[in-house]
Amino acid sequence: MRLHVNPDWMRTIRSFALFLLTLDIYCYDAVVGAQQSEVDQHLEMGKKLLAAGQLADALSHYHAAVDGDPKNYLIYFRRATVYLALGKSRSALPDLNKVLELRPDFTAARIQRGNVLLKQGNLDEAEKDFQAVVNQEPNNMEALEKAQMIAPLRQQIEQARALYQHGDYQSVIHILGPVVEQCPSFQELREMRAESYVELGELGKATGELRTTVKLTPDNTKGYLRLSLLHYQMGEEEDSLLQIRECLKLDPDHKECFAHYKKVKKLAKQLASANEFKNSEQYQECVDKAEQILKTESEILSFVLRARSFTCHCQSKMGKIKEALAACNTVLEMDPENIDAIIDRAEAHIMDEEYDKAINDYQKANEIDPDSRRIKEGLHRAQKLQKQANKKDYYKILGVKRTARKKEILKAYRKLAMKWHPDKFDGEEEKGKAEKVFMDIAAAKEVLTDPEMRKRFDMGEDPLDPEQQQGGHGGHPFFNQGFNPFGSGGFNFKFNFN
């Protein structure tokens, strides 16, 4: 049985289907038109921002343009150009690959890709790109020159590898210089040059090289650990801490990095504390912290030197002459031109009344740093003290050390004053001698118990010497100060021992 279809209905259905098809085409064209307009706007904005040097903003517009028109090879090329301007050649490479996938004969993109591959050290692929451009454009001088440099670069790289294996590190560095200029992102070459610097003891140059290599490979925990260890070996605890933290950011469970991090963090804290104690004149705490530093790290010369330097300075400031001299001598054995240690040792010699040795130290320090005011003042003071030692030394008169406290000075004074009081002696000659000694004892007590006068005396000036004072008078210095230890009625008096 045949189904009868009304011809009018068929015509109506066909007309409606044609209408729907026309509507779909119209809507599609409208959408495509709108999308293209938006893409064009992003391209125009990207172009303007790129010209203005606002690369990050330009990049965001090119991202949007790629999303809107993923078949447009020029958009990929422009985005690759921005990546290269930002120094992100690794990000530019996929875009250049896409350009050449969409447009294999685009020589500008092929040269750019060849340059990226050359910088990364992928010589074989770079050579293919340059040669393809030369085949297409025989007069393209850039591609021709780059293609011709590949073979010599290969030869130099192989030579550097062979020399490295034989331990000729200086030659490795020499050969790799121009090679790395052409292949700056070739990680193997930079690591080879860094290790050559390490072998030659040039750790600063090695760290500079490794700072580049750690960025060439994602998740380079090995590189950050190596860099941290080198900074540590140079005694740069803060830089070492910074690099080992980068390792732990990439892998918080990295055993080697975590172990090193704990040690460096502890040492950095101890060093900072010792320096703070030194600056705040908490000298015993400074010495104690220096000993802790040596327990944490006793092998790395730089850290040992700094710990011993803290001990040298702080022991000297505490007046512990023997300990200070031992520590300062240790520092100077490791670092003969350590000015701070030389000065601290000179000060210890002064406290030990070894003025010749103190002068020799200050003169040595002056040869190293002739412009230092601190050294010149120290030398002048040591010379004055040496001259003064040939005259009157109030410390010697009382039999106390230069580091003696007021309590010790008064105790020595009382003992000597009782011994040499003139009333205890008979006869004019003996009384005269006792009177002179007694006056010297009283003068010593007067100077050394007065903070200002003692400070002047320690600087090499005798505050009771009329020759060193303006308007001085003759006779015993005490009388020039308006003070007579015997009063006005001979020797029958109550002596004040306070």
Give the 3-state DSSP-derived string for 50-78, with helices as H, strands as E and coil as C.
HHCCCHHHHHHHHHHHHHHCCCCHHHHHH
Of the residues 156, 184, 212, which one is the last residue of a structural domain? 156
Least confident of 170-174, 243-247, 300-304, 397-401: 397-401
Q: Check pLDDT > 60 for residue 493.
A: no
Distance CA 294, CA 307 (A): 7
Same domain as 172, residue 61: no
Same domain as 358, residue 288: yes
Q: How far apart are the first and last CA of the chain?
A: 144
- The conformational region for residue 425 under phi > 0 = left, psi -120 to 50 = alpha, else beta, is beta
- Whether the CB-CB separation of 467 and 456 falls below 8 Å is answered with no
> How many Cβ atoms from other residues are within 10 Å of residue 287's Cβ?
25
- What integer is the mean pLDDT of 448-460? 88
pLDDT of amino acid 371: 94
Same domain as 377, residue 287: yes
Q: Is residue 429 part of a domain?
A: yes
The H helix count followed by the E strand count for the chain is: 24, 0
Q: Check pLDDT > 80 for residue 475.
A: no
Q: Is residue 29 part of a domain?
A: no
Give 3-state DSSP helix, strand, coil % of the chain, rounded to 5: 75, 0, 25
> How many Cβ atoms from other residues are within 10 Å of residue 494's Cβ?
6
Report angle CA 429, 431, 436 to the nearest 5 degrees: 100
Least confident of 77-91, 361-375, 388-402: 388-402
Q: Check pLDDT > 60 for residue 325.
A: yes
Per-residue DSSP letter, 166? T
pLDDT of amino acid 35: 67
Q: Check pLDDT > 80 for residue 432.
A: yes
More confident residue, 364 or 87: 364
pLDDT tens, position by position, 178-206: 999 999 999 999 999 999 999 999 999 99
Same domain as 208, residue 184: yes
Same domain as 105, residue 46: yes
Q: Check pLDDT > 90 for residue 230.
A: yes
Least confident of 252-266, 370-384, 390-404, 410-424: 390-404
Please state, rounded to an integer, the average pLDDT across all residues of the chain. Answer: 86
Same domain as 421, residue 383: no
Same domain as 187, residue 148: no
What tokens does 108 get? 């500008």
Of the residues 390, 416, 435, which one is the last residue of a structural domain? 390
Q: What is the CATH number of the domain that holds 347?
A: 1.25.40.10
- What integer is the mean pLDDT of 335-349? 95
Q: Is residue 54 part of a domain?
A: yes
Same domain as 399, residue 384: no
Distance CA 177, CA 431 (A): 89
Q: Check pLDDT > 90 for residue 1.
A: no
Of the residues 369, 390, 411, which one is the last residue of a structural domain? 390
Q: Check pLDDT > 50 for residue 27.
A: no
Report angle CA 69, 74, 78 to the nearest 5 degrees: 105
- Whether the CB-CB separation of 73 and 98 falls below 8 Å is answered with yes
Side chain identity at residue 444, one-letter code? A
Distance CA 79, CA 58 (A): 8
Q: Is residue 13 part of a domain?
A: no
pLDDT of amino acid 25: 45
Q: Is residue 483 part of a domain?
A: yes
Same domain as 228, residue 200: yes
- Whether the CB-CB separation of 122 and 116 falls below 8 Å is answered with no
Same domain as 198, residue 220: yes
Q: Check pLDDT > 80 for residue 89.
A: yes
> How many Cβ atoms from other residues are within 10 Å of residue 280's Cβ?
10
Distance CA 491, CA 498 (A): 18
- What integer is the mean pLDDT of 401-416? 90
pLDDT of amino acid 240: 97
Nearest-CA neighbor of 374 among 316, 308, 382?
382
Boundaries of domain holding 464:
394-498
Instruction: Count up the domains in the chain and report the number.
Output: 4
Per-residue DSSP letter, 468? G
Same domain as 80, residue 60: yes
* Residue that has been written with the tokens 């140079």 in this structure: 234
Distances (CA, A) of 175 to 150, 169, 190: 15, 10, 12
What tokens does 100 get? 């050449």
Same domain as 480, residue 420: yes
Least confident of 7-16, 127-136, 178-187: 7-16
Counting other chains too, the contacts that 149-158 makes at CB distance below 8 Å and 24 or more residues apart are: 149/182, 150/118, 150/123, 150/126, 153/123, 153/179, 153/182, 153/183, 154/123, 157/189
Distance CA 329, CA 323 (A): 10
Least confident of 33-37, 38-42, 271-275, 316-320: 33-37
Distance CA 472, CA 454 (A): 19
* Residue that has been written with the tokens 């002048």 in this structure: 380
Kindly report whether the global pTM for this prediction surpasses the value 0.75.
no
CA 252 to chain centre: 25
What tokens does 257 get? 């990095």
Q: What is the CATH number of the domain that holds 431?
A: 1.10.287.110
Helix, strand or coil, per DSSP, at residue 144: helix
pLDDT of amino acid 426: 84
73-85 and 7-51 helices, crossing angle to 10°: 20
CA 68 to chain centre: 48
pLDDT tens, position by position, 46-72: 888 888 889 899 889 888 888 888 999
Q: Is residue 369 part of a domain?
A: yes
Q: Is residue 305 part of a domain?
A: yes
Least confident of 128-137, 165-174, 229-238, 413-422: 413-422
Side chain identity at residue 154, one-letter code? R
DSSP characters over 102-141: H-TT-HHHHHHHHHHHHHHT-HHHHHHHHHHHHHH-TT-H
Q: Is residue 23 part of a domain?
A: no
Distance CA 82, CA 421 (A): 96
Side chain identity at residue 353, one-letter code? E
